[in-house]
Structure 1
Amino acid sequence: MIPYKRRIGYKKIRKATKWGIKVFILAESSTEYIYKFEIYTGKKTVTDGEHGLSTQIVLDLIEGLEGKGHFLYTDNYYSSPTLFDLLWGKTIYCCGTVRPHRKDFPKV
């Protein structure tokens, strides 16, 4: 979240950072170089793809990196069996924390 309190049509209100603009970023881990980013502008982002918001954002950000054997690290908001299967098929290896009660997660 980028803190921001002025008028803007797609401002996001959240508890952690009460006011701001939500930005999704794909960055290189050791240098923190930003490869791609996407500003969340509302429902349009959610309905563009056949997957949920978190999966679709990742797929949009990794576009152009397929087949190169990159490693992607995510937090529990983005991690899902569906995403990991899609990335595996694109030769992108993925690792991340998970929410065990998430849809399609195997029962233990």
Structure 2
Amino acid sequence: MTIQTAKLRDPAVRAFVTAVNAHDREGFMAVLAPGATMADDGADRDLAEWIDQEIFSTHGHLEVDNESDGGRALIARYRNDTWGEMRTRWRFTVDDTGRIARFETGQA
């Protein structure tokens, strides 16, 4: 059962998913803390390069099936033009200003 994006519990995660699904690069960058980092399948990646390849140039889209840890851990179906659809896990670290300092994703 998909959780509507508007009902996601954590405001930063909700803004992240909203920006991904709207293909809103400016909104996406606004939700990230300065110096934010990320990892994919356990390996740290270059954030700017990764989001371009995996989200914005390939029409990435998240459908959240489950959230835990106060909304900062998600199980979602993620799809883009490169990989099609896959079941993924997402974990977010939100800083004191309410912005995402780090996110980690990978196949679930």
TM-score (structure 2 length as normaliser): 0.24
Higher strand share: 2
Higher relative contact order, structure no. (Cα contacts within 8 Å, ≥ 6 residues apart): 2
- Which structure has the larger Rg? 1
